Structure 1
Amino acid sequence: MEELYTLEREVGRGSYGVVFEGHMAKTRQRVAIKRLPCSNPECIELYLQELWAMRATAKNHVNVIALHSCLLQTGPRSLKPLKPGKLPLCLVESVLKGRVAGAPQSQERNDALSNTQRRTNSVSRLQDRTNTVQSRVKLQDKPKSNMSDSTTPQRPQNRSRKRPQREEEQQGPLRCLALWLVMEYCDGGDLNQYLLSRPPDAERNHSVVRQLCSAVAFLHSLGITHRDLKPDNVLVCVTPKGPVVKVADFGLSKMSEGLMDGDLTRQHFSSTCGSDFYMAPEVWGGLTYTAQADIFSLGVMFWAVLERITFLEEGTTQEQLGAYVCKGRSGWLMPLGEALWENADLQLCIPMKFKRAPPLPPPPGPAMCSLLLDMLASNPDARPPADQLEARVRSALKEDSH
C-alpha cells in the first residue's frame, strides 16, 4: 500500500467498512480510500455491485464520484491492483456459492446454513448486477451539525429495511480479506453537512439542483438506476467557483445491460430498497418500479434544498434535509412516499405554508413549484424522465427569476 498510497487518517466508519483520507505516493494527490472487509457473501455482493457501477461511470462526469483504482488484499500486507474490467474470481465464487471462498470450515458451514435459499438465485442476481441489501457505507466523515434547535421537527428512528450484520474478519488460505476502493476526495462532506453549516443562499441551492439533474441524467443514460438518492449520498467538493456535488454510494444501484428501445423507464425492479424519507410511493407499496423512482427521490431532495426543510432522527442532533408530511395533532413526520402510497390524491403544499426556523432562503417560484409537483407525482409515468429534467429545471429557474 505504501508504494502506491499513504493513509493519513480515518474519516468515516459504517456498517460495512472504513474510509481513510490518503495521498497518492507519486503525485501527492489527496484521495479517499475505502476498505471493505470481505467477511460474508451478502457484503461481498454489495461491494461487487458498487465496484461495477463505479467502473461504468469511468470518471466521465464531474458530478459523479470518480473511482481511481481498486486493490485486492489477500494477506496482512499483501495488496495488488485489480485489473480494469476484471472481478476477483474468489469473490465471485463467494457470491455464487453463498459462502466465503477460502474461509475456515466452521464459517463455511455457518454461511451454508444461513444462505440456503440465497444460493438458488444468486447466479441471476450477479448476472444482472443487482442486490437487495438495505444499507450503505459512509464515504466521508459527517461532523454533527450545530444548526439544530428546538424548532426543528423530530422524526423517530429510521424504519429502514433490516440490513445484514457484518461479521468479524476471519483469515484463511486463498481468501480475499478486503477490497480497497481509491476514490476522489471530497472536502465539503455530504450535502447535509455542507448546506446546513452555511447561511441559506438561493444561487448555491440552484447550482446544487442543476448539478444533481445532470448527474442522474448521465447515470440513467448508462442504464444505472441509483435507488438510494439522498443528501447523505451526495458529496461536495469546495472550489473557488462554488460547490461541485458528486453522487456517490452505488451499493444499491441497478445496472441494466441493454435498455429496451433506449428507455430505462421500461426496465422494472422488484427489490424494496432505499431510505424511507426518499423512497417513491411504488417502492413503499412493494410494487415493481422503474428508474422513475430516482426522480421522486430527487424531488424530495430538491424541495428540501430549495426551502431548507430539515428534520431530526430521534436520539440524534444531526439535522437532515428532507421534505415530509405532518400527520395528526402530534405532528408525526411521515415520508412523502409513504403518505402518497396511502393516499395517491394527497395534495402537497409547495412551498410549505407553515413556519420553519430561520434563516430561510426565498421560497421557490411558481414554475419550480409546478415542476416539483410533477417530480413527486404518485404516478411514475407522470414524472419527467431524467433526460428532460435538467432542461426543465433550467427553464423553471429562469422563468421564476423574471
Structure 2
Amino acid sequence: MEELYTLEREVGRGSYGVVFEGHMAKTGQRVAIKRLPCSSPESIELYLQELWAMRATAKNNPNVIALHSCLLQTGPRTLQPLLSSRLPLDLVESVLKGAVVGMESQHEQENRTHLPQSKTCRTNSDGLFRSRFKSRLRTKSESDVLSSKSQETSNSGLSSSKSKERTPCEMSRTPVRTGLSRPRKRPGSRHREEKRRPRRCLALWLVMEYCDGGDLNHYLLSRPPDSQRDHSLLRQLSSAIAFLHHLRIVHRDLKPDNVLVSLGPDGPLIKVADFGLSKMCVEGGQSLDGEASLSRQHFSSTCGSDFYMAPEVWGGLPYTAQADIFSLGVMFWAVLERITFLEEGSTQEQLGAYVCKGRWLMPLGEALWENPDLQVSIPVKARRAPSLPPPPGQAVCALLLDMLASDPDARPTAAQLEARVCGAIKEDGAL
C-alpha cells in the first residue's frame, strides 16, 4: 500500500468498513480510501454492488463521488489493481457459494477434493448474480488435475512397496523405478494449476475523491441557515439523482449521512456516496435506455434508513426508483426547514422529516403507509426564531408534496424533478 498510497488517519467507520484519509504517493493528491473486509458472502455482495455502481458513474457528474481505483488485497502486504472491465471472479464465487473462497478448513478442503461440486448456486432476491457465472467456477483443467493427483497417489503406493525390497545403500545410490510411469505434465501446467488455486481475498480497497466538508448533516448543522446555499444544495441533489437514474442506478439509501460535501471557492459541492445498497436496472440480461427501464424494474428487498424510507418500502411491497424520489423529498424538506431529530441511543442531531405521535417520532414513510390520506403540512414550523430559515415558498411546497406522495406514480421522475426544482426556486424568488 505504501508504494501507491499513504494512509494518514481514520475519518469514518461503519458497519461494513473503515474510511481513511490518504495521499497518492506519486502526486500527493488527497484521497479517501475505504477498506471493506471480505469476511462474509453477505458483505462481499454489498461491496460488489457498490463497486459496480461506482464504476458505472466513473467521473461523469460533479455531484456523484468519483472512484479513482480499486485494489484487491490477497495477503498482508499484497495488493492487486482490479481491471475496470470485470468484477473479481473470486469474490463472485464467494457470493454464489455462500462461503468465502480460500477460508475453508483442512477437512473441508479434503472433502471438496474428493466429492463432486454442487451444481446449485446462491442468489439474492434481487438477483444480482445469476447462474451464468457457474460455468466459470470450475473448468475442465481442474478435473484433469484431480484425476492426475489420484493417479499419483496410487503410483506412490506401489513405489513404496517396491522400495522395501532394497537396502538403504541401494536406496541412496539408485533411484526407485516402478513398472508404471507417472503421467507427464505439459510444460507450464504446474504454473497454471497454481494460478487457478482460489485466492484468499482479505479486503477490497476503494480509492475515491476526498471531501473535506464532512457529510450533509455535519455541514449544515454546523452553520447558520442560508436560503441561497440551501437552494444550491437542492439543485445539486436533484442533478445527482437525475444522473444516476439516467444510468439506471437506484440508490435505495438516500439520506444526509450518504451525501458528502467538498468545500470550494464557489461554495459547497455535494457528492452522493455509499452505493452498497444500490441496484442497476436490467431486464432480460440487457440494459434498457434511460428512465423507461426504471418504471419496469421492481425490487423486493426492504432496505434503507427508517426516517427516509418510502411508504411502499415500509409496507413490504415491490417498489421502483420512485422510492428514491420520496427519500429525496424528506431530505429537501429537512434542509429547507432545518427539521432535525435525535435517533434512539444517539446524541447527534440528524436532518429528517417525521410525524409526531405524542412523545414519539414516527418516520414519514411509515405514517403514510398506515394512513395514505394523511395530510402533510408544509411548512411544518409556524413560529420561527431568528435562527431558523424563512418558510419555503408556495412552488417549493407544492413540489415537496408531490415528492412525498404516498402513491409512487404521483411523484415526479428524477428527470422531471431536476427541471421542477429549478423552476420552483426561480418562481418563489420572483415573488
Task: Give the Cα–Cα distance (whole angstroms) in 1 for the partners of residues 199 and 379 of structure 2.
Answer: 58
Alignment correspondent of 2:324:
294
Counting matched residue pairs gives 352
| SS of match in other structure, 2:341 | strand
Further displaced range: 44-53 or 314-323: 314-323
Q: 1:227 touches 1:253 (CA, 8 Å); kept in 2?
A: yes
Write the deviation string for residues 157-211 of structure 1: whole angstroms up to 9, x where unpaired. Answer: xxxxxxxxxxxxxxx9720111100000000000000000000000110000000
Alignment correspondent of 1:381:
409
| SS of match in other structure, 1:127 | coil
Alignment correspondent of 1:364:
392
- How far is 1:16 from its partner? 1.2
Q: 1:96 touches 1:122 (CA, 8 Å); kept in 2?
A: no
- How far is 1:9 from its partner? 0.9
Identify if the C-alpha distance between structure 1 residues 381 and 46 changes in structure 2 by more than 3 Å, giving closer, same or farther.
same
Task: Give the Cα–Cα distance (whole angstroms) in 1 for the partners of residues 225 and 330 of structure 2.
Answer: 18
Alignment correspondent of 2:272:
247
Please, what is the CA RMSD of the aligned residues?
Answer: 2.3
Q: 2:123 touches 2:130 (CA, 8 Å); kept in 1?
A: no
Identity of aligned residues (%): 77
Q: 1:366 touches 1:400 (CA, 8 Å); kept in 2?
A: yes
- How far is 1:14 from its partner? 1.4
| SS of match in other structure, 1:126 | coil
Identify if the C-alpha distance between structure 1 residues 208 and 125 changes in structure 2 by more than 3 Å, giving closer, same or farther.
same
TM-score by length of 2: 0.78
Identify if the C-alpha distance between structure 1 residues 126 and 194 changes in structure 2 by more than 3 Å, giving closer, same or farther.
same
Write the deviation string for residues 25-61 of structure 1: whole angstroms up to 9, x where unpaired. Answer: 1111100001111001001001000000000001100
- How far is 1:125 from its partner? 2.3
Between the two structures, name the one with larger relative contact order (CA 8 Å, sep ≥ 6): 1
Task: Give the Cα–Cα distance (whole angstroms) in 2 for the partners of residues 8 and 295 of structure 1.
Answer: 37
How does 1:136-155 map onto structure 2 within 5 Å? none
Alignment correspondent of 2:179:
none
Alignment correspondent of 1:174:
199
Match of 1:315 among 334, 339, 345: 345
How does 1:120-269 map onto structure 2 within 5 Å? 120-122=122-124, 125-127=127-129, 174-257=199-282, 258-259=287-288, 262-263=291-292, 264-269=294-299
Q: 1:128 touches 1:255 (CA, 8 Å); kept in 2?
A: no
| SS of match in other structure, 1:266 | coil
**Which ranges of 4 or more aligned residues in structure 1 deviate by more than 4 Å?**
106-109, 354-358
Q: 2:95 touches 2:122 (CA, 8 Å); kept in 1?
A: no
Task: Give the Cα–Cα distance (whole angstroms) in 1 for the partners of residues 107 and 305 of structure 2.
Answer: 31
Instruction: Specify every segment of 5 or more residues in structure 2 that has no aligned partner in the other structure, as ranges.
Output: 113-117, 132-196
Q: 1:260 touches 1:266 (CA, 8 Å); kept in 2?
A: no
Task: Give the Cα–Cα distance (whole angstroms) in 1 for the partners of residues 107 and 371 of structure 2.
Answer: 47
Alignment correspondent of 2:303:
273
| SS of match in other structure, 1:316 | coil
How does 1:26-175 map onto structure 2 within 5 Å? 26-105=26-105, 119-122=121-124, 125-127=127-129, 174-175=199-200
Write the deviation string for residues 295-336 of structure 1: whole angstroms up to 9, x where unpaired. Answer: 0000000000000000011332210000111113x3x11111
Task: Give the Cα–Cα distance (whole angstroms) in 2 for the partners of residues 236 and 128 of structure 1.
Answer: 36
- How far is 1:353 from its partner? 3.6
Alignment correspondent of 2:163:
none
Write the deviation string for residues 321-361 of structure 1: whole angstroms up to 9, x where unpaired. Answer: 00111113x3x111110000000000001001454776211
Identify if the C-alpha distance between structure 1 residues 386 and 293 changes in structure 2 by more than 3 Å, giving closer, same or farther.
same
Q: 1:348 touches 1:373 (CA, 8 Å); kept in 2?
A: yes
Give the structure with the higher percent helix: 2
Write the deviation string for residues 116-146 of structure 1: whole angstroms up to 9, x where unpaired. Answer: 9x954359723379xxxxxxxxxxxxxxxxx
**Paired letter, 1:186:** C
Identify if the C-alpha distance between structure 1 residues 262 and 186 changes in structure 2 by more than 3 Å, giving closer, same or farther.
closer
Instruction: Specify every segment of 5 or more residues in structure 1 that has no aligned partner in the other structure, as ranges.
Output: 130-171
| SS of match in other structure, 2:128 | helix
Identify if the C-alpha distance between structure 1 residues 50 and 108 changes in structure 2 by more than 3 Å, giving closer, same or farther.
farther
TM-score by length of 1: 0.83
- How far is 1:105 from its partner? 1.7
**Highest Rg: 1 or 2?**
2
- How far is 1:104 from its partner? 3.1
Identify if the C-alpha distance between structure 1 residues 107 and 347 changes in structure 2 by more than 3 Å, giving closer, same or farther.
farther
**Paired letter, 1:277:** F
Task: Give the Cα–Cα distance (whole angstroms) in 1 for the partners of residues 11 and 361 of structure 2.
Answer: 31
Q: 1:260 touches 1:267 (CA, 8 Å); kept in 2?
A: no
| SS of match in other structure, 2:425 | helix
Alignment correspondent of 2:379:
351
Task: Give the Cα–Cα distance (whole angstroms) in 1 for the partners of residues 106 and 252 of structure 2.
Answer: 35
Identify if the C-alpha distance between structure 1 residues 106 and 277 changes in structure 2 by more than 3 Å, giving closer, same or farther.
farther
Alignment correspondent of 1:2:
2
Q: 1:265 touches 1:290 (CA, 8 Å); kept in 2?
A: yes
Task: Give the Cα–Cα distance (whole angstroms) in 1 for the partners of residues 375 and 395 of structure 2.
Answer: 17
Q: 1:340 touches 1:346 (CA, 8 Å); kept in 2?
A: yes
